[in-house]
Amino acid sequence: MSDTLRAAATPVSQEPSALRAQAQAIGGLLLRDLRYTRREFFSFLTRTIMQPLLFVFVFAFLFPRIGQGVGGGGGEDFATILVPGLVAVAVIFQGIVAVALPLSTEFGGTKEIEDRIMAPVPVATVAVEKILFGAIQSVFAGFLVLPMVAAIPATPVALEVTSLPLLVAVVLLSALLSGSLGLALGTYVSPRQIGLMFSVVVLPLTFLGAVYYPWAALDAVPWLQWLVLLNPLVYVSEGLRAAITPSIETMSVVVVLAALVVSTVLLAAAGIHGFLRRTVG
């Protein structure tokens, strides 16, 4: 009997228990992954803070001290622009590393994915757990990087939470987007080409993701300003700026939230489809 017929034949009264079983399975898989992350905490810490630490140290601490200007405005403006952008990079990058890189190993040499898909739940549930695991790590990475990159700049950083609900919404949507992007890349990129992914995908996402400049500043290059709207990192960067740096002009909050929702849904659907294709054919 196919899964569709089996689902149709299941009494309605059993649906809550089926959902409970899936939730328990996701919880168990999350605990397993988090326990492994705890054992590798030093590696997690290093890959999370190294890039933003070096960037903010050189461009927001060292350059102002030696009299070098960065960005279109003063050093103070650049530091304020830079902080939410670096947090956005940490959030997105962590989801890719936490989901895409392990998948390349699990689909490749170790075949560890076969143990996971034998759990008594639909295979798609395992894919959803991957997204949630990446999201959890992304949230942690963002909160870890924020105070560090805000404290290092030589010039003051004008941070202010304009709306706590907006900040929570942007962080949660960005984290889910990060996990979904990691799942999509991990299932569609061949394990042998996973290193190439950082040159072809991650670097363009970063440099064209409104990380080091606000999106509005690109009005000097109109074609590029519209082209980068295809980059989901733009909406993470702009959403964080709208939530914690009100002095910086950003795109509409409604547009940011809508784009984050649409991007997350599309990437999650693509990632789950790719996961099913790689596991059950």
Both tokens assigned to 205: 């996402």
Tell me whether residue 10 is in a domain: no
pLDDT at 182 (0 to 100): 92
Alpha carbon distance 243, 166 (integer Å):
6
Amino acid (one-letter) located at 160: E
Range 229-248 average pLDDT = 94
SS3 119: coil
Q: Is the pLDDT of residue 280 over 80?
A: no
Tell me whether residue 237 is in a domain: yes
pLDDT at 191 (0 to 100): 72
Cβ pair 246, 162 in contact under 8 A: yes
pLDDT at 127 (0 to 100): 87
For residue 121, what are the contacts with CB-CB under 8 A and spacing of at least 6? 21, 22, 25, 26
Tell me whether residue 95 is in a domain: yes
Both tokens assigned to 193: 């080409």
Alpha carbon distance 84, 142 (integer Å):
9
Range 8-12 average pLDDT = 40
75-95 vs 232-244: helix crossing angle, rounded to 10: 130
pLDDT at 199 (0 to 100): 78
Closest CA to 85 of 229, 241, 219: 241
Alpha carbon distance 121, 119 (integer Å):
6
pLDDT at 15 (0 to 100): 58
Tell me whether residue 53 is in a domain: yes
Give residue 83's domain range: 15-280
CB atoms within 10 A of CB 263: 23
Tell me whether residue 89 is in a domain: yes
Tell me whether residue 27 is in a domain: yes
Alpha carbon distance 139, 157 (integer Å):
21
Range 187-200 average pLDDT = 78
pLDDT at 120 (0 to 100): 62
Tell me whether residue 2 is in a domain: no
Q: What is the pLDDT of residues 93-151, one digit of tens each?
A: 888 888 888 887 777 655 566 556 566 667 788 888 899 989 998 998 888 888 888 88
Evaluate the CA torsion angle 134, 141, 181, 249 in order and state its sign: positive
Looking up tokens 């962080």 gives: 171
> What is the domain count for the chain?
1
Range 20-44 average pLDDT = 70
Tell me whether residue 109 is in a domain: yes
* Of 48-52, 74-78, 110-114, 186-190, minimum mean pLDDT range: 110-114
SS3 198: helix
CA distances from 171 to 50, 87, 239 (A): 21, 10, 9
Highest mean pLDDT among 147-161, 186-200, 261-275: 261-275
